[in-house]
């Protein structure tokens, strides 16, 4: 079940040695792109693969690349989204920890294909270890002429800049991320126009998640069809799962899309000895709650999937956990991370956090019970960006599934 594309060489090569990456075929896909077929044919190959964005929204990657490729403009940008501030998610950082050149190779290929001479890696500034690894890798790639002027003696030039964000969850959202690089307040912008048309400094910009990018060298080397044959037919390929909580071996695991929740838990060694599965939260703090009856649910990116995968984080919760602690922790996070641009989210997350506190203290009123439903509806339907919806997801799931536990202190 553990199909390996991104993690194939983890713990086999030294991430700080570019020669180790060469020894497993590293930078061969880039050579193929520069010396071989026309870029359009590579885009078609990525479209055939069915790869869709691993940042959470699942947008078809090939189509997005094509949109930027087709625009005629002297200046275009590529951005690797490595903000990864979703609690419980650490798969993008793990790529850097284990194989930074795989990510760089993907970034270079996509930048050249769309015609960008400048690429950014946008990373949460608290991730010092990964920033250091990336700096070393970029330096080595430059020395070996995979970056900089006239890459591999071709006509292509590319510079990669690491941009350290201040560590705000909303800056992972692509338009807020662009604002942040431009030196503006990190809050989302109205779309359309989409970044593909008018992105960084108003120029066509391709933004991809780090995991999405790390699939690209494999697809170029092995072909789109081979990739399409892996995993679910709705969103083919593999997915990195960050699995934590009441399980035996917390960590990052790669598996085909469409595996069941039960299979994902087994990948991480199963439920911890002496613990009893209660529920799992899939997709980080903004994820849905899956209970025992959902253990055979398939985890997919398909837009109508019953349980969207989101960032791929799975938190396994056992019966010894106090649901009130979780509610308070979720709402504390969203209250802090709401950027404040729109009232429903700014106020709604704060009010839900206050209610979560009263629930924990057993001081809930009848008015609070009604208010919960109103606030959840408001967050789900009226906020400017998806963060508002995210803030409501887990709370809603908890109220629906564990009403007795939630209100038990109030009786
Ligand atoms: C509140 C919020 C936070 C997000 N955080 C991230 C993030 O940390 N990393 C990421 O790649 N995408 C994040 N996204 C999704 C991005 O906006 C965007 O869809 C993604 O980077 C596109 O890349 P992909 O097509 O490869 O998935 C976030 C979206 C929202 C609404
Ligand atoms: S929903 Fe929240 S994070 Fe998004 S714009 Fe409104 S206040 Fe900001």
pLDDT at 407: 83
Beta carbon of 176 within 6 Å of any ligand 2 atom: no
Ligand 2: distance of its center to the CA of 22 in Å? 44
Selection from 346, 339, 287 nearest residue 315 by Cα: 287
pLDDT at 268: 96
What's the mean pLDDT in 199-224? Answer: 98
Ligand nearest to the CA of 350: 2
The answer on pLDDT for 366 being more than 90 is no
pLDDT at 300: 86
How many CB atoms neighbour CB 95 within 10 A?
26
Instruction: Supply the DSSP string of 254-278, one letter for each residue.
Output: EEETT-BHHHHHHHTTSBPTT--EE
pLDDT at 101: 98
Q: Where are the beta strands (DSSP E) in 83-169?
A: 118-124, 159-165
Q: What is the CA radius of gyration of the chain?
A: 22
Please give the backbone phi and psi of residue 340, each rounded to the nearest 5 degrees, phi first: 90, 0
Torsion on CA atoms 363, 369, 370, 373, rounded to nearest 10: 130
What's the mean pLDDT in 216-234? Answer: 96
Residue-wise pLDDT for 370-382, tens only, equals: 999 999 999 999 9
pLDDT at 303: 62
pLDDT at 23: 98
| Ligand 2 pocket test target in 349, 384, 386 with most atoms within 8 Å of CB | 384
Residue-wise pLDDT for 96-122, tens only, equals: 999 999 999 999 999 999 999 999 999
Q: Is 309 helix (H, G, I), strand (E, B) or coil?
A: coil
How far does Cα 276 stand from its chain's mean position? 29
The answer on pLDDT for 302 being more than 90 is no
Residue-wise pLDDT for 126-149, tens only, equals: 999 999 999 999 999 999 999 999
Residue-wise pLDDT for 153-209, tens only, equals: 999 999 999 999 999 999 999 999 999 999 999 999 999 999 999 999 999 999 999
The pLDDT confidence band at residue 36, using thresholds 50, 70 and 90, is confident
Instruction: Supply the DSSP string of 192-204, one letter for each residue.
Output: SSPTTTS-GGGS-
The answer on pLDDT for 67 being more than 80 is yes
The pLDDT confidence band at residue 2, using thresholds 50, 70 and 90, is low
| Ligand 2 pocket test target in 334, 376, 385 with most atoms within 8 Å of CB | 385
The answer on pLDDT for 40 being more than 60 is yes
The answer on pLDDT for 269 being more than 70 is yes
Beta carbon of 302 within 6 Å of any ligand 2 atom: no
Q: Could you tell me if 294 and 281 are in contact, meaning their C-beta atoms sit under 8 angstroms apart?
A: no
| CA dist list (Å): 264 to 258, 294, 333, 389, 398 | 10, 12, 26, 26, 22
The pLDDT confidence band at residue 225, using thresholds 50, 70 and 90, is very high
pLDDT at 396: 93
Please give the backbone phi and psi of residue 80, each rounded to the nearest 5 degrees, phi first: -95, 120
pLDDT at 309: 85
Share of the chain above pLDDT 90, in %: 87
Residue-wise pLDDT for 77-99, tens only, equals: 999 999 999 999 999 999 999 99
Going by CA atoms, what residue is nearest to atom 7 of ligand 1?
Answer: 172
């Amino acid at each position: 079940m553990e199909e390996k594309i991104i993690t194939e060489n983890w713990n086999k090569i030294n991430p700080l040695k570019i020669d180790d990456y060469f020894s497993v075929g590293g930078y061969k896909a880039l050579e193929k792109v520069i010396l071989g077929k026309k870029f359009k044919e590579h885009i078609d190959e990525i479209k055939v693969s069915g790869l869709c964005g691993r940042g959470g929204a699942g947008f078809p990657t090939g189509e997005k690349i094509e949109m930027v490729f087709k625009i005629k403009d002297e200046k275009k940008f590529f951005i690797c989204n490595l903000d990864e501030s979703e609690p419980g998610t650490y798969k993008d950082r793990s790529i850097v920890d284990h194989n930074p050149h795989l990510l760089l190779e993907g970034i270079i290929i996509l930048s050249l294909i769309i015609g960008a001479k400048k690429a950014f890696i946008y990373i949460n500034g608290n991730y010092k270890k990964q920033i250091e690894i990336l700096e070393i890798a970029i330096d080595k790639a430059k020395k070996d002429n995979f970056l900089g002027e006239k890459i591999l003696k071709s006509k292509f030039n590319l510079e990669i800049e690491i941009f350290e964000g201040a560590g705000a969850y909303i800056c992972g959202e692509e338009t807020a991320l662009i604002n942040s690089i431009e030196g503006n307040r990190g809050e989302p912008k109205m779309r359309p126009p989409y970044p593909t048309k008018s992105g960084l400094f108003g120029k066509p910009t391709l933004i991809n998640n780090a995991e999405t990018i790390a699939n690209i060298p494999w697809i170029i080397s092995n072909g789109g069809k081979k990739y399409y044959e892996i995993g679910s037919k709705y969103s083919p390929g593999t997915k990195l799962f960050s699995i934590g909580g009441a399980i035996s071996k917390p960590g990052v695991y790669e598996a085909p899309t469409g595996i069941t929740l039960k299979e994902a838990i087994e990948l991480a060694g199963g439920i911890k000895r002496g613990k009893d599965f209660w529920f799992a939260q899939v997709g980080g703090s903004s994820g849905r709650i899956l209970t025992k009856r959902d253990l055979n649910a398939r985890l997919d990116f398909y837009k109508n999937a019953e349980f969207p995968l989101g960032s791929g984080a799975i938190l396994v919760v056992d019966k010894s956990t106090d649901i009130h602690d979780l509610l308070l922790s979720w709402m504390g996070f969203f209250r802090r991370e709401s950027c404040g641009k729109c009232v429903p989210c700014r106020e709604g997350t704060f009010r839900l956090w206050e209610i979560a506190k009263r629930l924990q203290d057993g001081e809930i009123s009848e008015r609070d019970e009604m208010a919960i439903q109103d606030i959840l509806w408001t967050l789900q339907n009226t906020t400017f960006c998806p963060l508002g919806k995210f803030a409501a997801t887990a709370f809603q799931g908890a109220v629906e599934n564990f009403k007795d536990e939630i209100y038990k202190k109030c009786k």
